[in-house]
Amino acid sequence: AQSVTQLGSHVSVSEGALVLLRCNYSSSVPPYLFWYVQYPNQGLQLLLKYTTGATLVKGINGFEAEFKKSETSFHLTKPSAHMSDAAEYFCAVSGIYTGGGNKLTFGTGTQLKVEL
Amino acid sequence: GAVVSQHPSRVICKSGTSVKIECRSLDFQATTMFWYRQFPKQSLMLMATSNEGSKATYEQGVEKDKFLINHASLTLSTLTVTSAHPEDSSFYICSAFADRGFPDTQYFGPGTRLTVL
């Protein structure tokens, strides 16, 4: 069984400030971890993912996340927020087994607001 | 990268009618597609797993007779909402595995906004 907890349904930062969106997961198997961004009335766009190897992963638009197994966390960060970063962000987990049977389990999402 | 399309992007229908939503993988073959439902300001909830050439697997609590899924080809899955009611109004999103061997190759469609009057 897998689950994802995103702390903070709403996060507000000033433009240029650090963005930190928190994600903790629970998984009975080694996890694959993902961050997706969703703009209003649009589908999901993959920001970054952790599969194996380096625990610090870099994604698009200057975002990065670090997989910390000991803390079961996969927090998303960006050094300097931009107005265009305002969106809904979802953390998700799946198993690593091949065969197409892995389902994504999503967190409840965090709405990021960027203020001038 | 792999592209998944959905049609229509937006649909408004009267209560009691049926609505069909198409999900297509444009540049790859997808033996497995997923259908999600998203209520306003909420997360995505998996409705069903659509497998090419076989019956869909529905998540607990999802009425299979209400939400008919057909995965007739390796590039097309359809979701039909039968006898739609206002409570079926939602944002429906599909996704597809570009490579069934790799669970990190799931790509999402742009979603379909269904409004039932």
* Confidence class for position B1, pLDDT limits 50, 70, 90: low
Cβ within 8 Å, pair B101-A98:
yes
Cβ within 8 Å, pair A98-B103:
yes
A44 vs B contacts (CB less than 8 Å): 44, 93, 95, 108
Nearest CA in chain A to B94: A43
Sign of CA dihedral A41, A42, A47, A52: positive
Cβ within 8 Å, pair A43-B43:
no
Q: Which residue has the higher pLDDT, B52 or A96?
A: B52
Cβ within 8 Å, pair A95-B103:
yes
pLDDT over 70 for what percent of chain A? 93
Average pLDDT for A34-62 = 91
B30 vs A contacts (CB less than 8 Å): none
**Using CB atoms, which residue from B97, B100, B109 is nearest to A43?**
B109
B101 vs A contacts (CB less than 8 Å): 98-100
**How many A×B Cβ pairs under 8 Å?**
61
Q: Please indicate if any CB of chain B lies within 8 Å of the CB of A95.
A: yes
* pLDDT at res. B99: 66
* pLDDT at res. A49: 92
Average pLDDT for A52-78 = 95
CA–CA gap between residue B58 and residue A36 (Å, rounded): 24
Q: Please indicate if any CB of chain B lies within 8 Å of the CB of A83.
A: no
Strand A10-14, strand A110-115: pairing: parallel
pLDDT at A99 over 60: no
**DSSP code, position A83:** G
Rank A59-73, A100-114, B30-44, B94-108 by mean pLDDT and report only the highest: A59-73
pLDDT tens sequence across B26-82 = 988 888 899 999 988 788 899 999 888 888 999 999 999 999 999 989 899 999 999
Scanning A56-75 for CB atoms below 8 A from B yields: none
